[in-house]
Amino acid sequence: MSESDDIFAEHARQAAELDADIGAAHVGKVYAEALLGAAEATGQTESLVEEFDSLITDVLEPFPKLEEVLASGFISHDEKAGIIDRVFGGRTSDTLVNFLKVVARHERLDCLRAIHRQTHKLLDEMRGLVHVRLTTATPVDSTQAQRIADSLAGFLGGRPVVERETDPQLIGGAILQVDDTVYDGSIARQLEIVREQMIDRSVHEIQSRRDRFRNSAGN
pTM of the model: 0.68
Q: What is the pLDDT of residues 88-137, one digit of tens each?
A: 999 999 999 999 999 999 999 999 999 999 999 999 999 999 888 888 88
Give the largest CA-CA distance in the chain. 90
DSSP class of 55 = I
Q: How far apart are CA 200 and CA 203, in angstroms?
A: 5
Q: How far apart are CA 167 and CA 182, in angstroms?
A: 15
Residue 105's closest CA among 82, 78, 130?
Answer: 78
Q: What is the pLDDT of residues 149-207, one digit of tens each?
A: 888 888 787 888 889 999 888 876 788 888 778 877 765 565 566 566 666 766 667 67
Instruction: Look at residue 203 and give its three-state secondary structure.
Output: helix
Residue 198's closest CA among 90, 22, 138, 190?
Answer: 190
